[in-house]
């Protein structure tokens, strides 16, 4: 099975929910996801604040011109998929 990183988890969860979510909301949805790749990643995660890692990956991606994410409101740490902008 291919490894899935935090960025991919965020993409898949945002795709599944079809709404903007905070990194912590993304992580909470990942913990109850039925997707095998996401469940496997959740099991492998050993850190105490994986939602911070998700947020860091999203912010890192937002700095790219071809980011898969966008932030609907600059004051709120919620993210959505750019393709649904």
Q: Quick one: DSSP state of residue 67?
A: -
List, as own/partner pairs, every contact residues 51-59 make where C-beta atoms lie below 8 angstroms and the sequence separation is at least 24, other chains included: 51/22, 51/23, 51/24, 51/26, 51/27, 52/23, 53/6, 54/6, 54/7, 54/9, 54/10, 54/23, 54/26, 54/27, 55/22, 55/23, 56/6, 57/5, 57/6, 57/7, 57/10, 58/7, 58/10, 58/23
pLDDT value for 76? 81
Examine the pLDDT at 21 and tell me if it is beyond 70.
yes
Examine the pLDDT at 1 and tell me if it is beyond 50.
no
In CATH, the number for domain 6-84 is: 1.10.10
pLDDT in tens, 29-80: 999 999 999 999 999 998 999 999 999 999 999 999 999 999 988 888 999 9
The domain ranges of the chain are: 6-84
């Amino acid at each position: 099975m291919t490894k899935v990183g935090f960025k991919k988890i965020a993409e898949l969860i945002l795709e599944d929910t079809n709404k903007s979510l905070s990194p912590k909301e993304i992580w909470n949805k990942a913990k109850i996801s039925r997707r095998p790749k996401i469940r496997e990643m959740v099991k492998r995660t050993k850190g105490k604040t994986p939602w911070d890692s998700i947020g860091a990956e999203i912010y890192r991606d937002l700095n790219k011109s071809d980011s898969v994410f966008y932030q609907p409101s600059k004051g709120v740490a919620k993210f959505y998929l750019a393709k649904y902008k």
